[in-house]
Structure 1
């Protein structure tokens, strides 16, 4: 529990003062600590997305409310899969983040300490949990889209602080690099669930007709039906 409290305390301090936090951050004592931190937050995000969702509650209901059935037929198998997926996503998250930070720092003549970069990327992994909470809480609608856009904007702000204050990159490169990383992350998130583009591509509501227009449309439909009936009868007589 002490380790979990420490991770949450680190995330809160980073939210309160990202610039000062990245200046004062000391690299972790080995890569294992960074991997554990990233794995914890990514696993937590999967838990919010899967186990702590309406789907689990409905499954519990359809299993007759049996805690034993729900535990062995849903929770334990799902938890094992979540651990497996969390491990894969942790590797992908750290690899992509370290690669992006290293390239930006190298281009900007910043610090190229891999352990420091890994520490910064793992400190930002709490964003995955925050994104999972937002996605599950605000599942649809323009309000949810605005929150997601604000989230990625805030993520770009944190990345900029990590690059500028932590890795000593040039301000311009830190800003553009953080925006590029955030936009790419938003594109991947949208590609996975079409949360953002889905609202823009949603068909518009049909135009409401006035009573006069409705009567006119109804009369036109009746005339077409009567015409088709006459043609059908005429063809029948010819036969």
Structure 2
């Protein structure tokens, strides 16, 4: 808890004054501490991005409304799987982000230290849970596009500051490098998430259904409900 409190305090200082936080020297007890500092926000971001209140409600009903079944058959296994993936993603993130900071510092005569580059990457990992919350609340349409755009502009801003004040490369290199990385991140997210393209498309008016089509949809819904009930009975959930 003490480590978590210290981490949150340092993250808050970074949000309030990124320039001073990137400039001041940071000492770590070892690579494991750096890894944990990256793992915590990545784990939170992963869980946020894969959380769905609608899906949880449906699963709760499907499991017969049992709190015990809901916790031990859904929540705990999901947490274990999420933790496993977060462990892998944290290692991959540090290798990639830390490698970029180290490579930029090495190539452009900046600060090229492995532990410092990894620590710098762990500092900006707090952006991951923010992104996870955006995915969780599922902002849509033009408003959603603007929200995500603001987030990636802020992320690009932090990358530029980390290159200039942390890695200590020139201003032009920091700006160009930060913009390039920000565009790559936003482009990957934009084309990876199909909903972002839908955010830019004005929705068309829904087509009115005929009474026959309405009856057909009702029958399809009843059939789905019947199959769900049969599946519950097959699992022994008769309550």
Shorter-normalised TM range: 0.7 to 0.9
User: Unaligned stretches of 5+ in structure 1?
Assistant: 207-239
| Partner of residue 228, structure 2 | none
| Partner of residue 221, structure 2 | none
| Partner of residue 233, structure 2 | none
| Partner of residue 215, structure 1 | none
The worse-fitting range, judged by mean Cα deviation, of 37-46 and 57-66 is 57-66
CA distance in structure 2 between the partners assigned to 1:38 and 1:56 by the alignment: 28
- Cα deviation, residue 78, structure 1: 0.6
- Cα deviation, residue 55, structure 1: 1.9
| Partner of residue 212, structure 1 | none
CA distance in structure 2 between the partners assigned to 1:54 and 1:192 by the alignment: 22
> What TM-score do the two structures reach when normalised by structure 2?
0.80
1:207-226 paired onto structure 2 within 5 Å? none
Q: Is the contact made by 1:49 and 1:133 (CA closer than 8 Å) also made in structure 2?
A: yes
User: CA RMSD for the aligned pairs?
Assistant: 2.1
Q: Is the contact made by 1:104 and 1:174 (CA closer than 8 Å) also made in structure 2?
A: no
User: Unaligned stretches of 5+ in structure 2?
Assistant: 206-239
Aligned length: 207
> What TM-score do the two structures reach when normalised by structure 1?
0.80
- Cα deviation, residue 166, structure 1: 1.1
CA distance in structure 1 between the partners assigned to 2:158 and 2:118 by the alignment: 15
- Cα deviation, residue 128, structure 1: 0.4
Q: SS of the residue aligned with 2:65?
A: coil
Deviation per CA, 1:96-143: give whole Å up to 9, x if none. Answer: 101221222223210001101100100111100000111212432211
| Partner of residue 80, structure 1 | 80
CA distance in structure 2 between the partners assigned to 1:53 and 1:99 by the alignment: 37
Give the 3 Å change call, closer, same or farther, for CA 52–197 of structure 1 in structure 2: closer
| Partner of residue 204, structure 2 | 205
| Partner of residue 191, structure 1 | 191
CA distance in structure 1 between the partners assigned to 2:89 and 2:25 by the alignment: 24
Q: Is the contact made by 2:52 and 2:136 (CA closer than 8 Å) also made in structure 1?
A: no
| Partner of residue 61, structure 2 | 61
CA distance in structure 1 between the partners assigned to 2:67 and 2:51 by the alignment: 14
